[in-house]
Structure 1
Amino acid sequence: MRFNGRVFITIGFILTVFPIFALKKVTKAKPTTVITLTNFNSQLSIDLQGGAIVDFHLKSNKINPFTWKVTTAQMPANNKNGAVFQGHFLSLGRWGAPTEGEMKAGVPHNGQAGRDLWKLEKTELGKPIKMTANPPLDGITVERTIQLDTKSSAYKVTEKVKNVTSVGRLFNMVQHATIGAPFLDSTTLIDSNAKQGFLQTMCYPNPSAYEFIFPNAYTDSTKASLDLRTSSNKNSYVSTHIFADSIGWIVAATPHKGLLVGYVWKTKDYPWLNLWQQWVDGKLWAKGLEFGTTGVGKSYQELLAVDTRFHGRSSFFFLDATEVVEKSYIGFEMEIPADFKGVGGLMLENGNVKLIEESTNKEFRIPTELSLK
């Protein structure tokens, strides 16, 4: 364990030792690829295998929202020899499946960086930790810095992606943040300042054909109503949205668990929100709070075949040869009362993440040294 200001860094190689009189030899557990940042009130863990955030919890409330995880058997063929999809991982290069040609070339779903082992770079006292990935199949390098606030349950992630090839290309980045049980249940509330949107099942070739405004969605082409704030409806869906503000945010709250988790970012970095809900065998299995650079979940060939812009927003950006892009977000958690009504507004103000409770207008604050500047 390394002391970093008031943040502890644990690099996990776990050693389990049994009494010498009880066993003939010491038994060592398999090394773990998980690193953990800890301050006086929260803990954040990242798995270097795939780079996913796999745990973020308060010391006063041990519930980890990021328990969602698939099995190796459930993974696509090109992903089976690496990390599984879990917690909050980064979809890089593409959102979802590669093209047929890319699959034959070995490219995994959601990009190679989310499958392979990241390298933890040398850390310095008082500095954010740095980790890197060099996925050759995507022709990029990735540098990520993670800073856990020294005094509160907030952290900042900044990622720099460089195209190391001599050819420009279409590109995407999606923060695939997914919450699971026990934090996620049918009472979980979702709030955001997202605006116009559409369901993925009805977005191609014209994403405006059945558009709506968050949180009031349609389940199908009959325009039957769907409340995106709630989690009690038995629908599985992906609802995609854009923002009118320069800052985007999304919050998931489960009041009877006493906990809220959320994100805030600049919409020039991530102009889209993809809200995913999945039921499996009658149980609420996953809720994705996915913010990124793409909205229409199709291949680049399909995106270019017709005009898929939605209110002027494209579902990709151009990453030129040797170009570097840098994008950031802040994640946070907070304890809430059992009668919490949800979040009606959120802002970064005077060193605080300030949340305004829905209906009551009561203010909740998370003091932080972090900013999106």
Structure 2
Amino acid sequence: MSEILYRNRRAVQLENEHLQIVVTREGGHLAVIRDKATGVNPLWSPPWPTIEPSTYDPAKHPEYGGNSESKLLAGILGHNLCLDLFGGPSDEEAAAGMTVHGEASVNEYEITVEGDTLTQKTTLPCAHLAFQRTIRLPAGARRAAITETVENLESLDRPIAWTQHVTLGPPFLECGVTQFRSTATKSQVIDTGFSDVGYMKPGAEFTWPMVPTLNGGVEDMQLFSDRKVSGAFSTHLMDPERELAYFSAWNPTSGIALAYVWKQSDFPWMGIWEENHGRDVPPWNNQALTRGMEFGASPFPESRRKMIHRGSLFGVPGYCWVPAKSKVTIEYAALLQPVASIDDLEL
């Protein structure tokens, strides 16, 4: 049976001898990529109980806060799809009911499993987009092949944000322990007050992986911070000289490595978000430890208007187009395997 309950959420699983993958029916989150031998799932599970987004009521659920992010946070798990927003809605959109990162994060999905392939589908009624994702996990494989298609249901070309918000959490994510690699090149720290406990120099441009810090030094982003409290966001241009882009993460304690691989031309940007016990408002309550490795079409999480006004960064576009009555399809892969060193991971 592929139907399961995961953290009291309706979900569907796909598995083979090595891996278990779990996708939630509401939100469509890729909640689990688990190594069955060790039980390690690198993806983030929030420290608060999650509920189905359709059941969220601001009056009944104050524990999730009271803003445009609350419905998303009530149900968020692991790898979250941001479509057709990457960031917050405008004040007007929020008043009309739009959530942070768009409808895809809170919609209900039709999910089926046939053989080694899981298919999830939904339609975004406000954005007038149809979305489909297939995840194929062949027998004996440690690599899942993922295909996504966005269809524009309108007679007008559409500029959209389209980001894979892959968030890692404990026990895989350990302060001062978990290591990272990437094809990142030119980089920039977000230029606003993203966090009250930030340590990166706002707006600083740099070359991956050495980020300028507030104390005048630099820090290697290939090792997760060993601070007790911190927060940050930086964006990274994937190497335009390489056809394929990737990030990998490895936990020496478990010996398990996770990687995502995609076409640089599809998703030229990767944002790295850090939340290390720094947010004191509900539902965070200084309890969350995360690192988001968020690859997509946009460099920064921001409103639709700001995305369009920004246009580009480092000469590279900050959004993508879906032509009228047309479909755009992209492919990427996720892999999970035991290795003795992060540099031993074969992509």
Once residues 93 and 76 of structure 1 are traced to their aligned partners in structure 2, the CA distance between those partners, rounded to angstroms, is: 22
State the 1:137 CA deviation.
Answer: 1.5
Q: Pick the aligned partner of 2:33 from 56, 73, 83.
A: 56
SS at the partner of 1:103? helix
Partner AA of 1:91 in structure 2: C
Q: Output the aligned Cα RMSD.
A: 2.7
State the 1:31 CA deviation.
Answer: 7.8
Against the structure 1 CA distance between its residues 318 and 50, is the aligned structure 2 distance closer, same or farther, given a 3 Å change threshold?
Answer: same
Once residues 8 and 134 of structure 2 are traced to their aligned partners in structure 1, the CA distance between those partners, rounded to angstroms, is: 23
The residue number in structure 1 matching 2:237 is 242
Deviations 1:243-281 (A, max 9, x none): 222110001111122111110000111110111111106
The residue number in structure 1 matching 2:57 is none
Deviations 1:131-183 (A, max 9, x none): 10112022111011110132122101111111112333320111000011111
Once residues 300 and 193 of structure 2 are traced to their aligned partners in structure 1, the CA distance between those partners, rounded to angstroms, is: 7
The residue number in structure 2 matching 1:217 is 211
State the 1:32 CA deviation.
Answer: 4.6
**Matching of residue 317 in structure 1 with residue 320 in structure 2:** yes
SS at the partner of 1:101? helix
Q: For structure 1, which runs of at least 5 residues remain unmatched after alignment?
A: 2-9, 15-29, 344-356, 358-363, 367-373
Deviations 1:5-55 (A, max 9, x none): xxxxx22269xxxxxxxxxxxxxxx98511111111111111111011111
State the 1:200 CA deviation.
Answer: 1.1
State the 1:58 CA deviation.
Answer: 1.4
Against the structure 1 CA distance between its residues 202 and 75, is the aligned structure 2 distance closer, same or farther, given a 3 Å change threshold?
Answer: closer
**Matching of residue 263 in structure 1 with residue 260 in structure 2:** yes
Once residues 277 and 337 of structure 2 are traced to their aligned partners in structure 1, the CA distance between those partners, rounded to angstroms, is: 29
State the 1:365 CA deviation.
Answer: 4.0
State the 1:130 CA deviation.
Answer: 1.4
Partner AA of 1:228 in structure 2: M
Deviations 1:216-253 (A, max 9, x none): 11124x75312111113434211211122211000111
SS at the partner of 1:69? coil
The residue number in structure 1 matching 2:20 is 43
Runs of 4+ in 1 over 4 A off after TM superposition: 78-83, 281-284
Rg bigger for which structure?
Answer: 1
- Corresponding residue pairs, total: 314
Instruction: Tell which deviates more after alignment, 265-274 or 53-62.
Output: 53-62
The residue number in structure 2 matching 1:24 is none
Against the structure 1 CA distance between its residues 74 and 55, is the aligned structure 2 distance closer, same or farther, given a 3 Å change threshold?
Answer: same
Deviations 1:105-147 (A, max 9, x none): 21111111110210114x4345x22110112022111011110
Once residues 324 and 159 of structure 2 are traced to their aligned partners in structure 1, the CA distance between those partners, rounded to angstroms, is: 11
State the 1:290 CA deviation.
Answer: 0.8
Partner AA of 2:43 in structure 1: F
Once residues 243 and 85 of structure 1 are traced to their aligned partners in structure 2, the CA distance between those partners, rounded to angstroms, is: 26
Once residues 168 and 209 of structure 2 are traced to their aligned partners in structure 1, the CA distance between those partners, rounded to angstroms, is: 19
Q: For structure 2, which runs of at least 5 residues remain unmatched after alignment?
A: 51-62, 195-201, 279-285
Against the structure 1 CA distance between its residues 183 and 209, is the aligned structure 2 distance closer, same or farther, given a 3 Å change threshold?
Answer: closer
Once residues 346 and 244 of structure 2 are traced to their aligned partners in structure 1, the CA distance between those partners, rounded to angstroms, is: 17
CA contact 2:29–2:78 (8 Å) conserved in 1: yes
Partner AA of 1:239 in structure 2: S
The residue number in structure 2 matching 1:253 is 250
**Matching of residue 278 in structure 1 with residue 284 in structure 2:** no
Against the structure 1 CA distance between its residues 284 and 227, is the aligned structure 2 distance closer, same or farther, given a 3 Å change threshold?
Answer: farther
Against the structure 1 CA distance between its residues 31 and 334, is the aligned structure 2 distance closer, same or farther, given a 3 Å change threshold?
Answer: closer
Greater relative CO, 1 or 2 (CA 8 Å, sep 6+): 2
CA contact 2:130–2:152 (8 Å) conserved in 1: yes
**Matching of residue 331 in structure 1 with residue 324 in structure 2:** no
State the 1:324 CA deviation.
Answer: 1.1
Partner AA of 2:40 in structure 1: I
Instruction: Tell which deviates more after alignment, 294-303 or 164-173.
Output: 294-303
Once residues 142 and 13 of structure 2 are traced to their aligned partners in structure 1, the CA distance between those partners, rounded to angstroms, is: 14
The residue number in structure 2 matching 1:66 is 43
Against the structure 1 CA distance between its residues 119 and 284, is the aligned structure 2 distance closer, same or farther, given a 3 Å change threshold?
Answer: closer
TM-score by length of 1: 0.77
CA contact 2:78–2:168 (8 Å) conserved in 1: yes
CA contact 2:271–2:300 (8 Å) conserved in 1: no
Once residues 311 and 146 of structure 1 are traced to their aligned partners in structure 2, the CA distance between those partners, rounded to angstroms, is: 33
Against the structure 1 CA distance between its residues 303 and 37, is the aligned structure 2 distance closer, same or farther, given a 3 Å change threshold?
Answer: closer
**Matching of residue 190 in structure 1 with residue 187 in structure 2:** no
Once residues 5 and 218 of structure 2 are traced to their aligned partners in structure 1, the CA distance between those partners, rounded to angstroms, is: 50
TM-score by length of 2: 0.82
State the 1:70 CA deviation.
Answer: 6.3
Once residues 253 and 209 of structure 1 are traced to their aligned partners in structure 2, the CA distance between those partners, rounded to angstroms, is: 28
State the 1:284 CA deviation.
Answer: 6.8
